[in-house]
Amino acid sequence: MKGNEFMKGNKTNKADAGGPASPSVHLEFTHTTAAMVCVAGTFNDWRPEASLMVAMGDGRWMKELTLPPGTYESCLVVDGAWKPDPLAGETVPIRSAD
């Protein structure tokens, strides 16, 4: 991440109001040449090292997160480069910190 830019690419709604909360969020990503993939977001104070994805082989990466119900923003960090999740169902604009 350069300077004070925050890439907030994904928006995840954990549970609908009044509906049951699901126990975890399952994330998958494919990148055939990545050596390390992390997830940074509002759930971990934008610290990618707090949520390392697990290499499953053949360029597939996976992470299970247990989060309380709510809305979260996140971004993938692939070998140090911040990227929006291409499978995200909903996104928010990239914002700069003031």
CA distance 59 to 39: 16
Superfamily holding 5-15+24-92: Immunoglobulins (2.60.40.10)
Secondary structure class of 49 (helix, strand, coil): helix
- Which residue ranges make up each domain of the chain? 5-15+24-92
Count the Cβ atoms, other than its own, within 10 Å of residue 55.
14
Predicted local confidence at residue 38, as pLDDT: 98
> Each residue of 29-64: pLDDT tens digit?
999 999 999 999 999 999 999 999 999 999 999 999
DSSP count for the chain of H helices, then E strands = 0, 9
Query: How far separated are the first and last CA of the chain, in Å rounded?
Result: 15
Q: Which helix (H) or strand (E) holds 87?
A: none
